[in-house]
Structure 1
């Protein structure tokens, strides 16, 4: 079954235009062939033609693709039944029957379409058999009128040309427009496949960026501190062995912490009972213990969804890492609170600052911006040389 929900609206319109064209052609042929010697001009076939074409026009405005299955089956049943009843009364709408079978391909699965076609063919021939005796009786009764008409060669030729032209017009319209439907569906399918490939490529890029960001944020912070401590121990090795030993102890602790980060990755931060306020205070204590600056923390946050807590934690962690690596700060302040508009987080240092308009390499600021974007928030960085840096994060909640 072709899912029209995913195909262009033009396909629905095309099917409707096919039906309207066939209705108009059949109506014109009905008018052009009205004469006393034609069975289809009699009272009952005339009513059958008019009633069916009107009913068919009404149904053409309904295409229950989004309706429940039982309503689709009723729709198909009404269309096929009306065509067969018209056939039983002498009205022949064979091409419209083919159109109904085409429409059923959009409404039910292939197996049911085959069953519908088989059953419809049986009842169509039964209806044809029921109408033939009356048609033949009428023709025998009016044989003289028919022979008189046949004697007029020009009239017969014109009538045959008109009827065949009408039938050709109806059939060719059906074939061409239905081919347009198939081509449009094929084009739509190709576009969907191309879009799928683009989405897969984008997803792969996003996943690579996510992995790089997680590695950078989880291990980068600890490895940066470890590097600082090892560098300090290296400098103090000969001058002050006691301080050097202390730096090595801190470095050992940090290396163990890195291993923990590898084992746990970010799992602990994504636990359902993860308390962001406590986690930020613990993080600040670790940073303050391993560095030469003081960290003041004023965090008053309620319990937040795990996704928001995880991203905010990583943003603050990255901010601390940047301060350790570049700021040469003496005092760092972390403020976080929630009001009616959302969460406001501020990380400020009194370090040497930097030019925010200059090109910056690395994942730090980029990773922070990506995390803020994930939460639909805003990131503002204010910094001037020798005047420190202030990072403001606002997240809607």
Structure 2
């Protein structure tokens, strides 16, 4: 009857029931809770989620203090909702504080009812019984309406909670699938890295070793002395290959990899060759392990390419920080090449792949007879 009298004022005469201020309070609270049930701020900042739960529970307190409506189930639903929105500590505090305030409000209401004069209480009961006898059909309709009023917010909240659980399960499944894809991608990247490292460390040496062994095989009967020299050189190259492997492993696995020191050592090694001389100017801050290692291998491959193809006598190497990021450059006075000619060698391709891993840019400028300039820029 309360629902009918509040929602349908034209029935005031048909239903002998007088709506009180507590009835309007309860309907106002139910309306507000229904609106709030359409929002679930799971991705909002913590303080907004705390205010959301506080408002919902705070709205229930007046209904417990000033009316006899049974809105107790809403309190438990909002405690369930707090488990999804708040931290564990906040949920425990909310449960304890909400329970204490709720039961104090309930005790206050009981004290108010007990203090009511017995005559007034009897008159109220008789009035309600008379209303039921006068309009029993409307009482049934009223009971259905009251249940609908409670059913709507309850069902909305339960649906939202279930949708949240389903969404979370789907998110976990997607995370698992992405993790599997990352593992496959990491394996592919590792295979590519190993191929680049083998080429950078051993490619040139093993190629020269193969040439010397073929030369010794061809000359062992016609020119034994020249064949013996080729074998000695092959032995030296094989020893150098082992040293390069050990150096690469020790360099790449150092806990504190200093790029400036590593580049200085690389330049000293290159300057031992009579082919060309490297003039270096390295002024770099301390960089991350990943960036330092990749830049080291880029420079090493660039110097190897110059040694193999450029016929240069002087090479300039510089590494510095600029407003755009970290800049590393190599310039030689070799024979150069036409820029329109595709460069399909694994060395240049490997350098570009390493630069892409660092999200940088690599520019190559060259002309026949005017040397080559390679410049790499890595963003900060």
Taking structure 1 as the reference length, the TM-score comes to 0.69
SS in 1 for 2:375: strand
- Does 1:301 find its partner at 2:279? no
Kindly provide the CA deviation profile for residues 59-110 of structure 1, in whole angstroms up to 9, marking residues without a partner as x: 9797796438xx9778756754653453133254335324312321124467
Deviation readout 1:347-386 (Å, 9 max, x if unpaired): 554278797447x47x4333211211233332234678x8
Normalising by structure 2, report the TM-score.
Answer: 0.71
Structural RMSD (CA) = 4.6
Conserved? CA contact 1:48–1:89, under 8 Å: no
- Distance in structure 2 (CA, Å) of the matches to 1:355 and 1:168: 75
| 5+ long unaligned stretches in structure 1 | 1-26
Q: 2:335 aligns with which of 339, 350, 354?
A: 350
**Is residue 337 of structure 1 aligned with residue 318 of structure 2?**
yes
Deviation at 1:295, TM superposition (A): 1.9
Aligned to 1:24: none
Distance 2:156 2:4 in 1: 15
Taking the aligned partners of 1:88 and 1:185, their CA distance within structure 2 comes to 38
Residues in 2 aligned to 1:205 and 1:260: alpha-carbon distance in whole angstroms? 27
Q: 1:273 to 1:209 in 2, by over 3 A?
A: closer
Any gaps of 5 or more consecutive residues in structure 2?
Answer: none
Residue 100 of structure 1 is matched in structure 2 by 78
C-alpha separation between the residues in 1 aligned to 2:211 and 2:5? 95
- How far apart are residue 178 of structure 1 and its match? 2.5
Question: What is the CA-CA distance between 1:127 and the residue it aligns to?
Answer: 4.8
Query: What is the rounded CA distance, in whole Å, between the counterparts of 2:5 and 2:244 in structure 1?
Result: 83
Contact 1:225 / 1:324 at 8 angstroms: preserved in 2?
no
Q: Which has the higher contact order (CA 8 A, sep 6+)?
A: 1
Compared CA separation, residues 241 and 299, structure 1 to 2 (3 A): farther
Indicate whether 1:364 and 2:347 are aligned.
yes
Please say which of residues 196-205 and 140-149 is displaced more in the overlay: 140-149
Closer, same or farther in 2 for the Cα pair 1:249/1:369, shift >3 Å? same
User: 1:106-139, CA deviations, whole angstroms, 9 ceiling, x for partnerless residues?
Assistant: 2446798589668867875675565357569666
Deviates more, 1:314-323 or 1:140-149: 314-323
Q: Which digits, 9 at most, give the CA deviation of each residue in 1:28-54, with x for residues without a partner?
A: 889439989779x43467557757976
| 2:138 alignment partner in structure 1 | 155
**Structure 1 residue 319: Cα displacement:** 3.7
Partner of 1:10: none
> What SS does structure 2 have at the residue aligned with 1:284?
helix
Partners of 1:336 and 1:343 within 8 A in 2: no
Q: Give the structure 1 partner of residue 203 of structure 2.
A: 220
1:275 alignment partner, SS class: helix
Q: CA deviation at 1:302?
A: 1.6
Cα distance in 1, alignment partners of residues 234 and 151 from structure 2:
89
Q: CA deviation at 1:267?
A: 2.7
1:265 match: secondary structure: helix
Give the CA deviation at 1:211. Answer: 2.4
Question: Which residue of 64, 71, 74 maps to 1:87?
Answer: 64
Question: Does structure 2 retain, via aligned residues, the 8 Å contact 1:330–1:350?
Answer: yes
Structure 1 residue 140: Cα displacement = 3.1
> SS at the partner of 1:393?
strand
| Aligned equivalent of 2:46, options 67, 81, 86 | 67
* Residue range with higher mean Cα deviation, 142-151 or 54-63: 54-63
User: In the aligned structure 2, how far is the partner of 1:175 from the partner of 1:103?
Assistant: 10
SS of match in other structure, 2:296 = helix
Question: SS where residue 297 of structure 2 aligns?
Answer: helix
Separation of aligned partners in 1, 2:217 and 2:365: 35
The number of residues matched between the two structures is 358
Separation in structure 1 between the aligned mates of residue 331 and residue 307 of structure 2, nearest angstrom? 13
